[in-house]
């Protein structure tokens, strides 16, 4: 079960949730971080999947942006809807008695108790952590150190796990007795570990962005020593791949572009997180830094050549 659950509203600075998830996964591992957009499989019952994850968490992070408190739908504030998922998740987290940390992003401030529904007013009494764009790295490092004590470094093995490890040890001794060479990872002359996903080559994807326009985008990628390099086009303009990495069947990297509105210029960060499925790359793209928030975009990239 994931140890950290990220609660966030998709129409309130969703790109920050992706940035934070990347940092937490680097610190604790991808299997210890959960957020709904990627970790609920197609066809799963959304409510059941969330309830299952919430039962096993060690700590919940509630991301609060400038529009978190006032976000509305059809003239009704989202938090006032009893079946609003953000509210339901916070209610469950508070009832569990487990640590719940508000995370303020993009200049947001903590809501007052009287501004919240009665079922989640306890949130306003929690000490918040601030993540700023200017001090992002140091702020996230402080957040990670705040979360770390809540995550057990080592969980007790069940009797089934103990039995499996015992059988594995017996099998290893039997192999050694036959004279076969057994290599531990990292030992000299050990064969290299297999990489489940090699994205090297050219890929193309038809991406319909959240404002409704569609573009044919090109991905020219190369895997070197576990790191991904190359270029990925955004609005048909190639952008340099940064922080590219592969973990098993998952791929992630970022690119940057510039937004110009009048005399104002903003650097946008585009975070791509993909998973290999039947020879295709299924991506989620999150963009942050824009004057207007962007919704996450899902698309499929198909290989053209290797």
In the chain, how many domains are there?
3
pLDDT at 155: 44
Assessment of whether the complete model's pTM goes beyond 0.85: no
Distance of CA 133 to the CA centre of its chain: 18
Helix (H, G, I), strand (E, B) or coil at 184: coil
pLDDT surpasses 80 at 50: no
Helix (H, G, I), strand (E, B) or coil at 224: strand
Structure tokens at 266: 């903003």
Count of Cβ atoms closer than 10 Å to residue 26 Cβ: 16
Q: What is the pLDDT of residues 253-304, one digit of tens each?
A: 999 888 877 777 788 889 999 988 888 999 999 988 777 778 889 999 999 9
* Same domain? 212 vs 118: no
CATH of the domain at 69: 3.40.50.10140
* Same domain? 82 vs 170: no
Give the residue-averaged pLDDT of 19-39.
82
* Same domain? 126 vs 10: yes
* Same domain? 188 vs 297: no
CATH of the domain at 252: 2.40.128.120
* Same domain? 44 vs 180: no
Q: What is the largest CA-CA distance in the chain?
A: 75
CA dist 254 and 239 (Å) reads 9
Q: What is the pLDDT of residues 76-102, one digit of tens each?
A: 999 999 989 899 989 988 888 889 999
- Torsion-angle region of 214 (φ positive above 0: left; ψ -120 to 50: alpha; else: beta): beta
* Same domain? 163 vs 109: no
* Same domain? 21 vs 134: yes
* Same domain? 237 vs 296: yes
pLDDT at 171: 63
Helix (H, G, I), strand (E, B) or coil at 148: helix
Label residues 31-46 b or e (16+ Cβ within 10 Å = b): ebbbbbbbbbeeeeee
* Same domain? 43 vs 178: no
When mean pLDDT is compared over 9-13, 110-114, 157-161, the highest value belongs to 110-114
pLDDT at 295: 86
* Same domain? 42 vs 133: yes
Q: Which domain holds residue 145?
A: 4-150
CA dist 88 and 214 (Å) reads 34
The more confident residue out of 182 and 204 is 204
Structure tokens at 260: 């110009």
CA dist 129 and 143 (Å) reads 7
* Same domain? 245 vs 123: no
Burial of 61 (0-12, 13-18, 19+ CB in 10 A): buried
* Same domain? 122 vs 169: no
């Amino acid at each position: 079960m994931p140890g950290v659950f990220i609660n966030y509203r998709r129409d309130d600075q969703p790109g920050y949730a992706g940035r934070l998830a990347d940092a937490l996964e680097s610190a604790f591992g991808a299997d210890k971080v959960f957020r709904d957009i990627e970790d609920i499989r197609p066809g799963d019952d959304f409510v059941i999947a969330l309830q299952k994850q919430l039962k096993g968490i060690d700590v919940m992070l509630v991301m609060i942006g400038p529009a978190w408190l006032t976000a509305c739908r059809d003239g009704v504030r989202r938090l006032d809807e009893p079946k609003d998922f953000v509210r339901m998740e916070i209610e469950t987290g508070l009832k569990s008695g487990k640590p719940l940390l508000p995370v303020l992003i993009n200049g947001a401030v903590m809501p007052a108790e009287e501004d919240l529904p009665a079922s989640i007013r306890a949130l306003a009494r929690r000490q918040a952590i601030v993540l700023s764009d200017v001090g992002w790295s140091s702020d996230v490092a402080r957040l990670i150190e705040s979360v770390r004590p809540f995550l057990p470094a080592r969980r007790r093995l069940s009797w089934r796990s103990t039995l499996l490890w015992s059988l594995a040890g017996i099998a290893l001794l039997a192999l050694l007795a036959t004279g076969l060479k057994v290599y531990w990872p990292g030992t000299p002359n050990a064969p290299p570990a297999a990489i489940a996903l090699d994205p090297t080559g050219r890929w193309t994807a038809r991406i319909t962005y959240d404002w409704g326009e569609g573009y044919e985008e090109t991905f020219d990628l190369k895997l070197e020593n576990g790191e991904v390099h190359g270029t990925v086009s955004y609005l048909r303009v190639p952008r340099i791949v940064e922080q590219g990495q592969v973990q098993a069947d998952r791929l992630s990297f970022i690119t940057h572009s510039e937004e110009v509105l009048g005399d104002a210029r903003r650097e946008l960060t585009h975070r791509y997180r993909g998973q290999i499925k039947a020879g295709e790359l299924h991506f989620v793209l999150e963009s942050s830094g824009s004057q207007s928030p962007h919704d996450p975009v899902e698309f499929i990239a198909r290989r053209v050549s290797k």
